[in-house]
A = this chain, B = another copy of it.
């Protein structure tokens, strides 16, 4: 990856001049200039300072640029969603499963009795969502929650978790998870 090019792109995206960014970051404008021209390879500490002025984390900085997929469909009608249902739970994925995507955005329906399973789920990433219909039970770690319409949740997927509908009406959940592992 081209550090200078990337820094310049980010700086311009934020509408900052070299001097402006330098001031916020606590370095001199010449430092920014030379980094952007790749005439130096900045130290971790100074790149940290520079990114602090944006602000942006090192991870974000080094994260691969998302390459523009051509011919990507943008809008999907309800019946075009990809069904990745598992057992009783209906799960429909928004968008194609291209490998570079970061978010898994799902429309999930839990009929009465549906359950992600007694064995708790655990994986990398984050998970969030909102209940738009019915009632649903969510277990995260040792805690158990009851989601009502309009309630939402957010947790690290590394915590063991489980969704379950012990009620007699279907529950509809809209959720997002990252990274997009299927």
Contact residues of A with B, CB < 8 Å? 1, 3, 13, 40-47, 57-60, 62-66, 68-69, 71-78, 81, 94-96, 99-103, 105, 107, 122-126, 128-130, 132, 138, 140, 143, 145, 147-148, 150-156, 158-159, 174, 176-179
Q: Closest Cβ of chain B: how far from A147's Cβ, in Å? A: 7
Which residue of B is nearest A40, CB measured? B43
A176 to B180, CA, bound (A): 13
Q: Are B62 and A59 in contact (CB under 8 A)?
A: yes
A68 to B69, CA, bound (A): 32
Which residue of B is nearest A138, CB measured? B75
Q: Which of B132, B151, B176 contacts A176 (CB 8 A)?
A: B176
Q: Closest Cβ of chain B: how far from A77's Cβ, in Å? A: 6
Q: Are B152 and A105 in contact (CB under 8 A)?
A: yes
Q: Are B179 and A60 in contact (CB under 8 A)?
A: yes
